[in-house]
Amino acid sequence: MAQYSQNLDGVFQALADPTRRAVLGRLGQGPASISELARPFDMALPSFMKHIHLLEGSGWIRTHKTGRVRTCVIERTSFDVVESWLAEQQRLWQGRTDRLEAFVTNYEEGEQK
Protein backbone atom coordinates (compact mmCIF):
# COMPACT_ATOMS: atom_id res chain seq x y z
CA MET A 1 0.00 0.00 0.00
CA ALA A 2 2.88 2.41 0.78
CA GLN A 3 4.39 1.83 -2.68
CA TYR A 4 0.97 2.47 -4.27
CA SER A 5 0.61 5.69 -2.27
CA GLN A 6 4.11 6.86 -3.19
CA ASN A 7 3.45 6.22 -6.89
CA LEU A 8 0.14 8.04 -6.63
CA ASP A 9 1.78 11.05 -4.96
CA GLY A 10 4.31 11.35 -7.80
CA VAL A 11 1.67 10.90 -10.46
CA PHE A 12 -0.50 13.69 -9.04
CA GLN A 13 2.50 15.94 -8.35
CA ALA A 14 3.37 15.71 -12.03
CA LEU A 15 -0.17 16.75 -12.96
CA ALA A 16 -0.06 19.76 -10.64
CA ASP A 17 1.80 21.91 -13.16
CA PRO A 18 0.17 23.34 -16.32
CA THR A 19 3.38 22.91 -18.36
CA ARG A 20 3.52 19.21 -17.55
CA ARG A 21 -0.18 18.78 -18.30
CA ALA A 22 0.35 20.49 -21.66
CA VAL A 23 3.28 18.18 -22.43
CA LEU A 24 1.12 15.15 -21.64
CA GLY A 25 -1.65 16.57 -23.82
CA ARG A 26 0.77 16.94 -26.70
CA LEU A 27 2.19 13.45 -26.18
CA GLY A 28 -1.35 12.09 -26.32
CA GLN A 29 -1.14 12.85 -30.04
CA GLY A 30 2.03 10.78 -30.42
CA PRO A 31 5.77 10.79 -29.65
CA ALA A 32 7.70 14.07 -29.85
CA SER A 33 11.25 15.29 -29.44
CA ILE A 34 12.27 17.40 -26.46
CA SER A 35 12.82 20.44 -28.69
CA GLU A 36 9.38 19.99 -30.27
CA LEU A 37 7.76 19.76 -26.83
CA ALA A 38 9.68 22.78 -25.50
CA ARG A 39 8.91 25.06 -28.47
CA PRO A 40 5.56 26.48 -27.20
CA PHE A 41 6.94 27.38 -23.76
CA ASP A 42 8.75 30.58 -22.88
CA MET A 43 11.49 29.02 -20.75
CA ALA A 44 15.08 27.96 -21.05
CA LEU A 45 15.73 24.37 -22.07
CA PRO A 46 17.29 23.41 -18.69
CA SER A 47 14.10 24.60 -16.94
CA PHE A 48 11.95 22.66 -19.38
CA MET A 49 14.10 19.56 -18.84
CA LYS A 50 13.20 19.63 -15.13
CA HIS A 51 9.58 19.12 -16.19
CA ILE A 52 10.59 16.25 -18.49
CA HIS A 53 12.62 14.59 -15.72
CA LEU A 54 9.73 14.87 -13.28
CA LEU A 55 7.30 13.39 -15.81
CA GLU A 56 9.70 10.57 -16.53
CA GLY A 57 10.43 9.95 -12.84
CA SER A 58 6.74 9.79 -11.99
CA GLY A 59 6.07 7.31 -14.78
CA TRP A 60 4.02 9.53 -17.09
CA ILE A 61 6.51 9.42 -19.96
CA ARG A 62 9.44 7.40 -21.25
CA THR A 63 12.31 8.91 -23.22
CA HIS A 64 14.81 7.37 -25.61
CA LYS A 65 17.71 8.85 -27.49
CA THR A 66 18.45 8.25 -31.14
CA GLY A 67 21.58 10.06 -32.25
CA ARG A 68 21.27 13.60 -30.90
CA VAL A 69 17.48 13.57 -30.59
CA ARG A 70 15.72 12.58 -27.37
CA THR A 71 12.14 11.50 -28.01
CA CYS A 72 9.36 11.30 -25.42
CA VAL A 73 6.52 8.80 -25.42
CA ILE A 74 3.54 8.75 -23.08
CA GLU A 75 3.28 5.82 -20.65
CA ARG A 76 -0.23 4.44 -20.14
CA THR A 77 0.53 2.81 -16.76
CA SER A 78 0.20 6.10 -14.86
CA PHE A 79 -3.28 6.50 -16.31
CA ASP A 80 -4.11 3.08 -14.87
CA VAL A 81 -2.88 4.14 -11.41
CA VAL A 82 -5.02 7.28 -11.48
CA GLU A 83 -8.02 5.43 -12.89
CA SER A 84 -7.79 2.78 -10.14
CA TRP A 85 -7.56 5.39 -7.42
CA LEU A 86 -10.48 7.39 -8.82
CA ALA A 87 -12.61 4.25 -9.17
CA GLU A 88 -11.85 3.37 -5.54
CA GLN A 89 -12.84 6.87 -4.43
CA GLN A 90 -16.02 6.73 -6.49
CA ARG A 91 -17.03 3.41 -4.90
CA LEU A 92 -16.31 4.79 -1.44
CA TRP A 93 -18.32 7.99 -1.92
CA GLN A 94 -21.12 6.24 -3.80
CA GLY A 95 -21.55 3.92 -0.81
CA ARG A 96 -21.61 6.87 1.58
CA THR A 97 -24.18 8.81 -0.44
CA ASP A 98 -26.31 5.68 -0.84
CA ARG A 99 -26.33 5.21 2.95
CA LEU A 100 -27.17 8.88 3.46
CA GLU A 101 -30.02 8.65 0.98
CA ALA A 102 -31.38 5.55 2.74
CA PHE A 103 -31.14 7.29 6.12
CA VAL A 104 -32.96 10.43 4.89
CA THR A 105 -35.64 8.37 3.12
CA ASN A 106 -36.25 6.20 6.22
CA TYR A 107 -36.33 9.31 8.44
CA GLU A 108 -38.85 11.07 6.19
CA GLU A 109 -41.05 7.96 6.03
CA GLY A 110 -40.94 7.72 9.84
CA GLU A 111 -42.11 11.33 10.20
CA GLN A 112 -45.04 10.83 7.82
CA LYS A 113 -46.56 8.00 9.87
pLDDT tens-place string over residues 38-94: 999 999 999 999 999 999 998 999 999 999 999 999 998 888 888 888 898 898 899
pLDDT at residue 69 in the model: 95
pLDDT at residue 39 in the model: 95
pLDDT at residue 53 in the model: 96
Q: List beta partners, residue 86.
A: none
pLDDT at residue 34 in the model: 96
The C-alpha angle 82, 84, 85, rounded to 5 degrees, equals 65
Question: Band of the pLDDT at 113, cuts 50, 70, 90?
Answer: low
Residues 4-51: pLDDT tens digits? Answer: 555 788 888 899 999 999 999 999 999 999 999 999 999 999 999 999
* CATH assignment of the domain containing 16: 1.10.10.10
Q: How many structural domains does the chain have?
A: 1
E-strand ranges in the chain read 32-33, 61-66, 69-74
**What distance in Å separates the CA atoms of residue 17 and residue 52, rounded to the nearest whole number?**
12
**What distance in Å separates the CA atoms of residue 60 and residue 68, rounded to the nearest whole number?**
22
Can you tell me the mean pLDDT for 84-110? Answer: 85
Q: What's the order of all strands across the beta sheet hosting 61-66? A: 32-33, 69-74, 61-66
User: What is the domain range of residue 46?
Assistant: 2-112
